[in-house]
Structure 1
Amino acid sequence: MSDNEAVVDEVRVEVDARGVARIEIDRQHRMNALNGKASATIMDALGEWSQRDDVRVVVIDGVGGSFSTGADVIDIAQAAGGNPTGGLDATQARGVISSGSDLARAVRSVRAPVIAAVDGPAVGIGASLAFASDLVFATERSYFLLAFINIGLMPDGGASMSVAASVGRARANAMALLGEKLPAAEAFGAGLLSGLVADRAALDAKVDKAVGKLVGTSASALRLTKAALDAHTMGDFEAALDRELDGQTELLQSAEFQAAMAAFAGSSKS
């Protein structure tokens, strides 16, 4: 491991000599679901890199055949277990959702371009993490799923805005209200992806090519271009996070969500 590389709770962060910063999520036993420590590691790295002029591009990747299957439900269930009623109180609920909001906000805080390399499922906050990135490249076997509605919740991490801004109202409604899976080919056709490739090897080559292009481009021009595009396409991002935070805080205390957590706890013990 180099001086510029660290692994904390199965998340690898590294900055190479070219200024290419990488985050690799490696929680394969949970299909790269993010627990609190993993999310904090990612946010800390992004927060540091947002202040560094030498960071030219950031790549977020998931290893082992998954990008990320979202928030680790075990973490949420354990948080709920601390409440005698078996559910989350308002403070706990707001804390859980704030983590997802802060994760997406950390991605957007980076002034350099952020690339999401998606191979396999990107679900829940994992999908939100990809959608918050500037460039999204995916393999043909990948898919995106806003599964929140299936457990009595709503999209968060800014996905209620970023998805609709990319694919339009009708497709976004199908994903968010029906919990429909969006295969990578359809996501590419709908304008959600920057590129679609056949497999993992092709994805690595595609990302490396994009990284090489970005590293060879004026850093100031990239930052100013990104900021200008964000002003037009992501102007409501903070407002979306606020709406999601309020909505999810309410929903995480609902009987429907508590029932979903109880069902998960029962299945995990069997």
Structure 2
Amino acid sequence: MDAAPSILSAIERGVAVVRLNRPHRLNALTLEMLDRLRRTLTEAVDAGARAVLVAGEGRAFCSGADLSPDEGLEGKANEAVRTHYNPLMRALADLPIPVVTAINGAAAGAGASIALAGDIVVAARSSYLLLAFANIGLVPDAGATWLVAKAAGRAKLLEMALLGERLEAADALEAGLVARVGDDAALHDTAIAYAVRLAAMPTVAMGLIRKQAAAALSGPLDQVLEIEAAHQAIAAATDDFTEGLAAFADKRPPVFRGR
């Protein structure tokens, strides 16, 4: 059993910096780790975080599910996906604050899903995505099928899922799967800068924008128009909107409070 907690978390400048912390296993996901990550995200919001940065300790972001016998996943994949993986992915999608992910090394299997669930995905130049499920007789899970298809299309999804080959960071950028690729040494600084910037934005509007983006990926235009109208009413009632208008009139930078 791991001595250190599988997830590390601290709030810095309004950002919940959450780290996958099993570097000796390339941050391979255990069921306990999935549940702890989900709880940590919820607790970060409750503690007042206004953005989240998810990163991996050590040489990799996440190598996917821990397939060691100790995890006992053989014959229980369906149960594990439904009761541990899917709730985490739903929690990430439902967060009322923006999410930045920072990919170092491998983001494989469900690790790729967690990485691609970020609103802004920053990748180190040497990093890569890998959907290796077919290589061991499985299928993509944890939302990988949806995330890749919606961002990069059918052809890229099938290439990644059927061939089970690495997609290098530069190619992931070209495919529209990540937002930024930069030098390995600058990964954390780049990612935290984005997260801090988002944390200083009007938090209610940020959460609503996340929901609108999800609706736009799957819903018809009329439905999205209605969602936008409803969300605009909510955003217009916030203190941050009042501050935004005042700052515009005063020709000064706004100071948003997240309410």
TM-score, structure 2 normalization: 0.78
Distance 2:191 2:72 in 1: 37
Residue of structure 2 in register with 1:243 after alignment:
none
Distance 1:97 1:224 in 2: 28
Distance 1:54 1:21 in 2: 9
| Structure 1 residues 32 and 234: alpha-carbon distance in aligned structure 2, compared to 1, 3 A threshold | farther
Residue of structure 1 in register with 2:68 after alignment:
74
Aligned residues of 2:95 and 2:207 also touching (Cα < 8 A): no
Residue of structure 1 in register with 2:171 after alignment:
186
Task: Please identify the structure whose Cα radius of gyration is greater.
Answer: 2
Point out where structure 1 has 5 or more consecutive residues left out of the alignment. 1-6, 81-87, 236-270
Residue of structure 1 in register with 2:54 after alignment:
60
Offset from partner CA, 1:150-200 (integer Å, 9 cap, x none): 11111111111110111111111100111121100000011111100011x
Question: 1:121 offset after TM fit, Å?
Answer: 0.3
Among candidates 154, 157, 175, match of residue 160 of structure 2: 175
Residue of structure 2 in register with 1:11 after alignment:
7
Aligned residues of 1:13 and 1:23 also touching (Cα < 8 A): yes
Distance 1:208 1:162 in 2: 23
CA RMSD of aligned residues (A): 1.9
**Once the two structures are aligned, what percentage of the paired residues are identical?**
37
AA at the equivalent of 1:24:
R
Aligned residues of 1:124 and 1:147 also touching (Cα < 8 A): yes
Distance 1:152 1:9 in 2: 31
Distance 1:76 1:147 in 2: 21
AA at the equivalent of 1:146:
L
Residue of structure 2 in register with 1:260 after alignment:
none
Distance 1:186 1:218 in 2: 33
Point out where structure 2 has 5 or more consecutive residues left out of the alignment. 220-259
| Structure 1 residues 205 and 93: alpha-carbon distance in aligned structure 2, compared to 1, 3 A threshold | closer
Indicate yes or no: 2:32 matched with 1:47: no
Offset from partner CA, 1:88-119 (integer Å, 9 cap, x none): 1xxx3322212221221121121100111101
Among candidates 146, 149, 162, match of residue 131 of structure 2: 146
AA at the equivalent of 1:67:
F
AA at the equivalent of 2:96:
R
TM-score, structure 1 normalization: 0.75
Report the 3-state secondary structure (helix = DSSP H, G, I; strand = E; otherwise coil) of the residue aligned with 1:24: strand
Distance 2:209 2:68 in 1: 40
AA at the equivalent of 2:8:
R
Distance 2:156 2:127 in 1: 17
Aligned residues of 1:162 and 1:234 also touching (Cα < 8 A): no
Residue of structure 2 in register with 1:156 after alignment:
141
Question: 1:8 offset after TM fit, Å?
Answer: 6.0
Residue of structure 1 in register with 2:18 after alignment:
23
AA at the equivalent of 1:33:
A
AA at the equivalent of 2:139:
M
| Structure 1 residues 96 and 75: alpha-carbon distance in aligned structure 2, compared to 1, 3 A threshold | farther
Aligned residues of 1:9 and 1:37 also touching (Cα < 8 A): no
Report the 3-state secondary structure (helix = DSSP H, G, I; strand = E; otherwise coil) of the residue aligned with 1:73: coil
Aligned residues: 216
Indicate yes or no: 2:180 matched with 1:195: yes
